Every structure is written in structure tokens, then in C-alpha cells.
Amino acid sequence: MERTQDFDVPAEELWEAVTDPEQMGWLGDEITLDVRPGGTGRITDDGETREVRVDTVDAGHHLSFHWWPEGDEDMASRVDLIVVPRPPGSRLVVRETLPDPVATDGPAGRQTRAAATIEPTAWDRRIVVLGLATMKPLAGVAAGSRC
Amino acid sequence: MDEVFAALADPTRRAVLQRLLDDGPATATALSPSFAMSRQAVVKHLGVLADAGLVTAERHGREVRYAGRAEPLVDAAAWLARTGAAWDRRLARLSRQLGPSAG
């Protein structure tokens, strides 16, 4: 899954909004996070609380973390937040990598999920189109949804 | 999820999966005429689909019958829709936070 959004603020300000816990309220109603590699925390958004573990912090450019529903680390997905300067403004690219539903629950499964980097945009569309074309009862996916 | 995407990368495999989901389980022998390829080629494609959890294989006597599974696709599509909607909401909040009226 990928989303891109442009902002009228400089990249440095966007980076602060992405990595300063006091400014990260847009991610969820409640957030505590140690924004350093290996740092942990919690984010509650729309009634769901996730545990978070930070992977990489490339100052000014890229924050990545894994997060998962409380107590359910096997369902972890990876989030990449990438700040791109576009003077006079900036751009945020968000990627969330799908957990592998077919992978085993063991270490091999977790490794598979950790290693999987998907080129998301083309596959989002293909998966949804195939789903709509193939599966008769496919509840909850709007035909016009932009993925 | 890598295996699901890799399995679906090939248009023949997509067509084989669609056929199994539409018309029900079939043997490789029964499938190959429709796809103008050898039974072995069909078996190879079915193997890739099976690795991705999109097809199961069951032995019936001396034959193997393949059945399509929609769950990995449905799961993926549902996850994408939910996750996309969640990020749309978050980015809308970020826009308000960083908008022209913000300090």
C-alpha cells in the first residue's frame, strides 16, 4: 500500500511532524514512541492500539517501523515514511507492507514478512481488480477505491 | 505476500486460477487443452500457485486434482482497502496540522 501527499511546508518541518512524538498526533489519538532505531512505543488510532518498534531513522528523510495489534506480533506490518523535499514544499510517501497471510507463524514466516518489499502501486490495482473479477462475495472493497 | 504477487505476475497463471475458481477443481490433464500448453507446463504453473497458497492439490487415485483458493486474494484486497482508508484519514489530519492556517 502506498500513499503520497504534498505539503506547503519545507521538508524539515514535515520531518518534525513525522518524528517528534509531540507532533505525531495525526498518526493516532494517543502516541508514545521512542523514535530511535530499536525504540518502542504504542499508537492508538481509531480505537485500535498497536505496539510499535522503530527500525531505521535516516534523519530528515526516512523513518521506518514495524507495528502490530497489541499482543499479536505475528501480524506485524512494516511502515515506511519518506520525506522528499519539493521546494518550496515537501512530499510524504507512506508505504505499508502487507503481512504474508500464507507464511508460517514461525521464524521463517517472520523472516519472509521482514524481507518482503513489494512494489506496491501496480500490485494494489492488480490484486483489487483480480479480486473483484474473480471472487463473487468480496465484501468491503468498493469498485472505485483507489489503492 | 511475495509469493502471491509473484504467482499473479504471469497472465497464464492468473487465467488458470480464474478457471479453477470459476469452474471448480480440475486435473492438470483437464486444464492443459484450454491453455494450449503441455501438461507439464500447466503443472509448473500450478506449483507456483500452490506455493502461494492460491491452489491446493489433492490426490484422487492416480490423479492430482487442483482447487483454487480465493482467500489469499480476498485477504490481500481487504487489507489494502482497510489500510489505504486508514492512511487517507491520517494524511488528512496531517494536512490540517500542517495547513496554511497552522502555526
CATH number for the domain spanning A97: value is: 3.30.530.20
Domain count of the fold of chain A: 2
Could you tell me which of A92, A35, A98, A89 has the C-alpha nearest to residue A61? Answer: A92
Same domain, A111 and A124: no
Task: Supply the pLDDT for residue A88.
Answer: 93
Average pLDDT over residues B34-48: 93
Contacts of B97 in chain A (CB under 8 A): 17, 23, 25-26
Same domain, A112 and A124: no
Same domain, A84 and A147: no
Average pLDDT over residues B20-31: 95
Architecture of domain B1-69: Orthogonal Bundle (1.10)
Please give the model's pTM, rounded to 2 decimal places. 0.68
Same domain, A87 and A124: no
Same domain, A20 and A45: yes
Same domain, A128 and A80: no
Same domain, A64 and A88: yes
Same domain, A94 and A108: yes
Write out the residue range of the structural domain in which residue A123 sits: 119-147
CB contact under 8 A, A138 and B94: no
Same domain, A100 and A52: yes
Interface list for chain B against chain A, based on CB atoms closer than 8 Å: 1-5, 8, 14, 17-18, 21-22, 52-53, 70-84, 86-91, 93-95, 97-100
Could you tell me which of A45, A40, A49 has the C-alpha nearest to residue B93? Answer: A45
Same domain, A101 and A141: no
Same domain, A124 and A100: no
Task: Supply the pLDDT for residue A102.
Answer: 41
Contacts of B52 in chain A (CB under 8 A): 102
pLDDT band, residue B17 (cuts 50/70/90): very high
- Name the more confident of B94 and A135: B94
CB contact under 8 A, A45 and B4: no
Same domain, A10 and A72: yes
Q: What is the ipTM of this complex?
A: 0.71
Which distant-in-sequence residues (6+ apart) come within 8 Å of A53 by Cβ?
A: A38, A39, A40, A65, A66, A67
When the pLDDT of each residue in chain A is averaged and rounded to a whole number, the result is: 77
**pLDDT above 70 as % of chain B:** 94
Q: In what order do the strands lie in the sheet with B26-27?
A: B26-27, B63-68, B55-60
Average pLDDT over residues A15-41: 95
Average pLDDT over residues B28-49: 94
